[in-house]
Chains A and B, each alone.
Chain A
Amino acid sequence: MRIHEYQAKRLLADYGIPIAPSRPATSVEAAVGAAEAIGLPVAVKAQIHAGGRGKAGGVVLANTVGEVHAAAERILGAPLVTHQTGPEGRVVKTLLVEKAAEISDELYLGLVVDRARRRIVVMASRAGGVDIEKTALEDPDAILKEWVDPTIGLRPFQANRLAHRLGLDGTAARGVAGIVRSLGRLFRELDASLAEINPLVLTEDGEPIAVDAKLTFDDNGLSRHPEIRELRDLNEEDPLEVEATSVNLNYIKLDGNVGCLVNGAGLAMATMDLIQHVGARPANFLDVGGGATAEMIEKGFGILIADPDVEAVFINIFGGILRCDVLANGVVAAAKAMDIDVPVVIRLEGTNVKAGREILDRSGLAFRTASDLREAASKIAAAVGEGS
């Protein structure tokens, strides 16, 4: 789960990491009020769940109240398009108004799980700022790393060593090492999957300040952090995806024309690939899971049909825990409850497959059934061909 910069900074502050004075604002007036309270100059920053905001014009340095007003008016309520949002962008609903930091140096600090080594890795660089991704690709040696042994945790000596390797001394070294330790504690205690401070600014006096922050949390850890779960912003998510989550379906909207409903994440991805293999494009990822009920199938099918981009539907179920008759009942109930004007290809296999196929045949609905993936693939290709 992702959260906004302003939320991340509150969590950093809770862990004693220095941040600049700032206030979130959801209106132009509030933004101006925040700037007056904090003192100029300020940075006016769009709050969306995507990186690349600065380059896209979503972060503005304002020296006067007039400039704050103009920036807030331009950014609030408008879509912001960055290289991470897709062409439609994200509508900005909240700004963060922050005291502009006096910058002498920009560092990068990040923590992630290194899956290959099965441990947390702390990454730091002198080359902080907007081009860190480029640096990571072109000059990987400029990113310093310390791995955390899970049996002893992130140790103070590692934080000190990292600061030393960054070439820092005095106030800056002490400050940065302290931030490394605090961020490491936050990362583990709050079940984060990504924690990034970029840039971690050093002032003329060598005082470090977290000027931008990004935190992502392990969905599997959220049940033990109700305070983090509350930070979820549904505005940042596709409404169809939110609806799917509410009935425990795993749905991701994509930009193709064939809606698919599958049980199991791996088979769902493979089904998307199969659709592409026959020259069509998947409109979504939808995993109904192993224990789906008829009601969940009905809801899932409804979500597919509600998507205006869908020209054909492919249901691919390998019943293990999910029985084929349960699936068939759900699909038939959904199909009878709504007008379906797109072809529906269904491939069923596994537990109770005979009963499932009989339910489909007896329904009187015009489903196209396939007995294996090969046959399903050619039927999808044919179905999409009809629509165009």
Chain B
Amino acid sequence: MSILVGEGTRVLVQGITGNEGRFHTQRMLEYGTKIVAGVTPGKGGQEIEGVPVFDTVSESVESTGANASILFVPPAFAADAILEAAEAGIKLIVCLSEGIPTHDMIEVRAYLDQQGTALIGPNTPGLISPGTCKLGVMAGYIHAPGPIGIASRSGTLTYEVVHQLTDLGIGQSTCIGIGGDPVGGLSFAELLPMFEDDPDTEGIALIGEIGGSAEEEAAATIAESVTKPVVAFIAGRTAPPGRRMGHAGAIITGGSGTAEAKIAALREAGVHVVDSPAEIGTRIAEATERRPA
């Protein structure tokens, strides 16, 4: 099975009438995702790929029972679109938009916590439970169903890890991009217990990067409550301080957020930390086989 999504996930696509929204709606439907509604303000009444389009999220939820939402909305409007979904009672929101101002996300996250809404992203390729449900823009064909849960701050680096695993014949339970921004939705520390509780996840891959303290918090959670083997890679060992490495969140400031500190914290918590990105797949294979039955 998987975490966060499953057979009962009924998906709403916000921004379904835009180029990207339309294209990926088609791709997600092909993958088997149950898309029940789309929303674009002012475009209600149409159908896109057979999916009914509504003007507002609350209307779409009422008519279709949608319980998860994926957003293809420009960054300037994304914060508002997330809030609209949460206010309408959606409990899982996946936001792909890159470039949402940090202060907007601080306010959005505070509201989501009040509502008990889970957010994936922003600035993420989304999440996928191979063979069941794809809520994102990743290429479905590189994935395979299986026992490894993946949580990552990066997009293409996650594809790389998935590809290495699938090549080794090891599938994935759920792969989640937590996003590359400084403030966002579910963190490593919040996802790890979900993987720990998921009976179909046998091992966890954590793909971190420089900046912030998400990996240190993950290490504390792992030490406290994760018994499944965890393999980690931290990107950005060679990154210089004070420079933003693409992702808004990937920046070493005032000596904090370094790869060294993260690696040390994870090793301390018993995590297998891989030095070369070429070795992630094989280390996961080793770590899960080594696991006591």
Contacts and interface: CB of A to CB of B under 8 A. Distances in A.
Q: Do A and B bind each other?
A: yes
Given A116-B213, A254-B238, A282-B238, A266 B278 contact: no
Contact of A265 (B75, B107, B247): B247
Interface in B73-106: 75-76, 99-103, 106
B276 A273 contact: yes
B248 A219 contact: yes
B102 A272 contact: no
A290 B214 CA distance: 24
B293 interface: no
B18 to A, nearest CB: 14
B60 interface: no
Given A119-B106, A220-B248, A274-B278, A290 B155 contact: yes
Nearest to A289: B246
A180 to B, nearest CB: 18
Given A84-B242, A273-B237, A351 B180 contact: no
A120 B105 CA distance: 12
The size bracket of the interface on B is: 35 or more
A320 interface: yes
A182 interface: no
A282 B243 CA distance: 15
Given A320-B138, A320-B156, A220 B102 contact: yes
Contacts of B99: 220
A285 interface: yes
Contacts of B142: 350
Interface in B174-226: 180-183, 207, 209-210, 212-214, 217
A150 B103 CA distance: 9
A307 B10 CA distance: 51
B28 to A, nearest CB: 14
Nearest to B159: A318
A203 B20 CA distance: 58
A377 B276 CA distance: 10
Contacts of B154: 264-267, 269-270
B207 A266 contact: yes
Interface string B37-62: 00000000000000000000000000
Q: Which of B214, B246, B250 has the most CB of A within 10 A?
A: B246
A250 interface: yes
B209 A266 contact: yes
A15 to B, nearest CB: 16
Given A264-B155, A268-B245, A272-B239, A218 B103 contact: yes
A372 B212 contact: no
Contacts of B164: 372
Q: Which of B157, B158, B243 has the most CB of A within 10 A?
A: B157
B236 A273 contact: yes
Contact of B102 (A113, A151, A263, A275): A113
Given A115-B183, A276-B237, A349-B163, A267 B217 contact: no
Interface in B230-286: 233, 235-240, 242-250, 254-255, 275-278
Contacts of A321: 137
Contacts of B212: 115-116
Interface in A300-358: 318, 320-321, 349-351
Contacts of A287: 246
A151 B155 contact: no
Nearest to A277: B276
Nearest to A317: B156
Interface string B110-140: 1100100000000001000000000001110
B69 interface: no
Contacts of B157: 264, 266-267, 269-270
A220 B75 contact: yes
The secondary structure that dominates the A interface is: mixed
B101 A220 contact: yes
A125 interface: no
Contacts of B138: 320
A266 B247 CA distance: 8
A150 B107 contact: yes
Interface in A98-143: 113, 115-116, 118-120, 133, 136-137
B93 to A, nearest CB: 16
Interface in B145-179: 152-160, 163-164
Given A265-B247, A266-B235, A191 B276 contact: no
B225 to A, nearest CB: 18
A377 B245 CA distance: 22
Given A115-B212, A254-B240, A272-B238, A265 B250 contact: yes
A41 interface: no
Given A115-B183, A274-B278, A320-B139, A133 B156 contact: no
Interface of A: 84, 113, 115-116, 118-120, 133, 136-137, 149-151, 188, 191, 193, 218-221, 223-224, 250, 252, 254, 256, 262-277, 281-282, 285, 287, 290, 318, 320-321, 349-351, 372-374, 376-377
Given A118-B183, A252-B243, A374-B278, 6 more contacts: A115-B183, A118-B110, A218-B103, A220-B100, A268-B245, A373-B277
For the complex of A and B, 8 pairs with smallest distance between CB atoms: A266-B154, A265-B246, A264-B156, A266-B157, A373-B278, A269-B235, A221-B101, A270-B277
Interface of B: 75-76, 99-103, 106-107, 109-111, 114, 125, 137-139, 142, 152-160, 163-164, 180-183, 207, 209-210, 212-214, 217, 233, 235-240, 242-250, 254-255, 275-278
13 contacts: A113-B106, A118-B106, A150-B106, A150-B109, A254-B238, A256-B238, A266-B154, A266-B207, A267-B160, A269-B239, A272-B236, A273-B237, A274-B277
